[in-house]
Structure 1
Amino acid sequence: MTGQLVAVCFDASGPLRLAQFWAGLLGREVVHDAGGGTFLPGTDTQLGLRFAESRARRVGKNRVHLHLTSASLADQQQTVARALALGAGHVDVGQRPEEGHVVLADPDGNEFGVLTPR
């Protein structure tokens, strides 16, 4: 039997705050599990996100980041605007304008891309 990827876990200085950011961005609900964790459950088409308390400082660029899809250029712009309103910031990771995606960081500094329609 093969394993199934069900969630990505983020170390977070403020797990609830970070979960609320991602819930607002993705239109999902924050759930607190029995073990005291903060979680955005996945669906058949969306990966779950878990947020764990950590005091460790991140050094350097993330080695893994998420990509969010867009249905249209207007949808991409709306997603970027919503992310910025929720506390994200723009990040330069060497992307070029012709690549068409926008790179942002969540309130804990985790980079993610908002892609053009594909």
Structure 2
Amino acid sequence: MALRWYSVVVDCLDVRKQAAWWADALDWRLVHETDDECVIIPSWVDQKVVDETPWERTGPGMLFVRVPEVKTVKNRLHVDLAPHTSQDRDAEIARLEALGARRVDIGQGDDAGATVLADPEGNEFCVLSSRTS
């Protein structure tokens, strides 16, 4: 039996702000919130979906945990986001920037196939080209 990818954990200074930012960015919803941790999951996941989906096929959520230190170096692991081919990729990048993301240079070069952004606390993520799957 395979293990289930349960969550992505993001260390941060302000768990509520980071969780809200990522929920807005991904159109997910907040399902748990304290001063020390917050959890977001896809908006379409409800109890019926959980009950009808095999354990190992349920996608991960995101857990934001409070830490005292600021981020100081490039992430060793990051999230790749991709718009659907029916979406305007540049408009999605502009939307993320309007939410507070900023473009960052991690050495990707001008010919990179992705746009590298950072969330409000500096965690890098990529926006790939549009995809159908």
- Fold similarity call, TM over 0.5: yes
Where in structure 1 are there 5+ consecutive unaligned residues? Answer: none
Q: Which is further off, 25-34 or 37-46?
A: 37-46
For 1:30-109, what aligned pairs fall within 5 Å after superposition?
Answer: 30-32=30-32, 37-42=37-42, 43=45, 46-72=59-85, 75-109=88-122
What secondary structure, in the 3-state scheme, does the structure 1 residue paired with 2:77 have? coil
> Offset of 1:73 from its aligned partner?
8.7
Residue 2 of structure 1 corresponds to which residue in structure 2? 2
Residue 22 of structure 2 corresponds to which residue in structure 1? 22
The one-letter code matched in structure 2 to 1:10 is: V
User: What is the rounded CA distance, in whole Å, between the counterparts of 1:54 and 1:18 in structure 2?
Assistant: 12
The one-letter code matched in structure 2 to 1:6 is: Y
Over the matched positions of the two proteins, sequence identity in percent amounts to 35
1:87-110 CA-to-partner distances (Å, cap 9, x unmatched) read: 111100112333231100000100
What secondary structure, in the 3-state scheme, does the structure 2 residue paired with 1:29 have? strand
Q: CA RMSD in A?
A: 2.3
User: What is the rounded CA distance, in whole Å, between the counterparts of 2:116 and 2:27 in structure 1?
Assistant: 20
